[in-house]
Chains A and B, each alone.
Chain A
């Protein structure tokens, strides 16, 4: 038993426990936090496979951004926990069937000759000076540049669609235009008026007009 193997077992055990708690915790906020733990352990497993770029990006994107927004939404929901658990037994057969089907499909794929553990030998340690990030960048921007651009366009369409669906301009909302605020000058806002004193003072002999 060497150190990487021990690290693998620890990370895998934490991953399984966290994944189990995601679906068994009663509080959705706790479930989301367990999901964070699961992502983090998955990143540890990827690190053990020498995929350091993917591992760090998994933490950066999923833990650092996606799950923060997820928690943000989950915390603001007003959830009645009793209502959530309603109908558990009624839905169990269907959900269990789907779960069993998924497990069966995964087992079939992983035990097949093309994708089985025997078909993909361990790549072993990369040679010294090998940069995971550089290799990925080279592949994405040369061999796979069109699929990559296509994925980017699909994501852009998704962003535009999401914004178009949720954007509504309410008439009663008042907006500020910083450009307009900055363009304001003294001449446009301030008018200096010469006001005569209310009661004209008695004309003195030496007073200048």
Chain B
């Protein structure tokens, strides 16, 4: 792998000369990294929707899609072809430029944020120091897609959905940010790789931050549900009262792009929860257990899959929250809980306490 990379670098240097050669190598390396991350991500998004329908069908004791291909495995391909073929309709009186800009604005941050997400030590497109901040900034931009879509559609339903979504996302972003503040305090870094490596140690499972930061862990996941407009907080779509909310006027591929963004964000929340609170690629078993005890991307994928299943489980199990209850939960429950636990984490990290067991497991390093 490194030999191949060196050969490629040499070839590009020779081709573009000494001035542009290094730049060409940077571009080529980044492009290869982007393809290596985005292709599996998009395939996961495609099949996540099928698995979602299977899981919810299974929970609700029905079959789910089982007609296209063997047991329905070609269903997402059929859906994608159908959506590609459909006509894109622009409503009368819509702001046309913004109407087509909205899906792009929704999906761009959802994909761009994967640049700083590590999958194993060194397996990251851009290993920036302030990785966690980049994640927060990028996820906070996703709401523009929804707001612009709701406004540009020139439709009351879409507009109401956008308004709800804007208030909800702003409310939950604060709690989510505080939960991440806890993770960066315990990890003593903003770099995601370093936060994961700080959860390494001989106690395995108990070393991970889910234990000392349990309130942040719970708040982060629930705020992630709200941030991605998923059940039970999906009032921005609310098909029983708003038809489909912000994307009611979208058809064909523009509609599909909104779903692409939503599912990419769900996978992102699952990945971050695994990285920050469940030790990322670290193994829960002792290192003596051979392949089971070795850290690797496999463990990260198992943890991500667990959280992705949790998204579906929650969707199939809980009724939708009422809007004032969502706001109350965000402002009056989560923000105070996270504020108090930030202070508690700070006390746990103070010196006499930090080197005493059990706090020395997490903060004594």
A interface residues, Cβ below 8 angstroms from B = 3, 27, 29-30, 33, 36, 52-53, 56-57, 59-60, 63-65, 68-69, 71-72, 75-76, 131-133, 178
Give the interface residue-count category, chain B: 20 to 34
A36 to B105: give the CA distance in the assembly, Å: 12
Query: Is B257 engaged at the interface, CB distance under 8 Å to the other chain?
Result: no
Task: State whether A133 and B190 are in contact (beta carbons under 8 Å apart), knowing that A3-B23, A59-B141, A68-B143 are contacts in the complex.
Answer: yes
Among B95, B129, B137, B167, contact of A131 (Cβ-Cβ < 8 Å) = B129
Smallest CB-CB separation from A58: which chain B residue?
B137
Smallest CB-CB separation from B322: which chain A residue?
A176
Are B163 and A132 in contact (CB-based, < 8 A)? Answer: no
Query: Is B83 engaged at the interface, CB distance under 8 Å to the other chain?
Result: no
Are A29 and B151 in contact (CB-based, < 8 A)? Answer: yes
Are B136 and A71 in contact (CB-based, < 8 A)? Answer: no
A60 to B190: give the CA distance in the assembly, Å: 15
A53 to B184: give the CA distance in the assembly, Å: 14
A57 to B95: give the CA distance in the assembly, Å: 31
Are A178 and B143 in contact (CB-based, < 8 A)? Answer: no
Are B190 and A64 in contact (CB-based, < 8 A)? Answer: no
Secondary structure at the B interface, as helix, strand, loop or mixed, is helix
Report how many A-B pairs have Cβ atoms within 8 Å. Answer: 68
B interface residues, Cβ below 8 angstroms from A = 23, 95, 98, 128-130, 133-134, 136-137, 140-141, 143-144, 147-148, 151, 159, 162-163, 166-167, 169-170, 173, 190, 328
Chain B residues in 8 Å Cβ range of A75: 147, 151, 159, 162-163
**B3 → chain A closest CB, angstroms:** 27
A65 to B140: give the CA distance in the assembly, Å: 7
**6 closest residue pairs by CB, A with B:** A64-B140, A59-B137, A60-B137, A56-B133, A72-B166, A56-B137
Chain B residues in 8 Å Cβ range of A71: 144, 147, 151, 166
Chain A residues in 8 Å Cβ range of B141: 59, 63-64
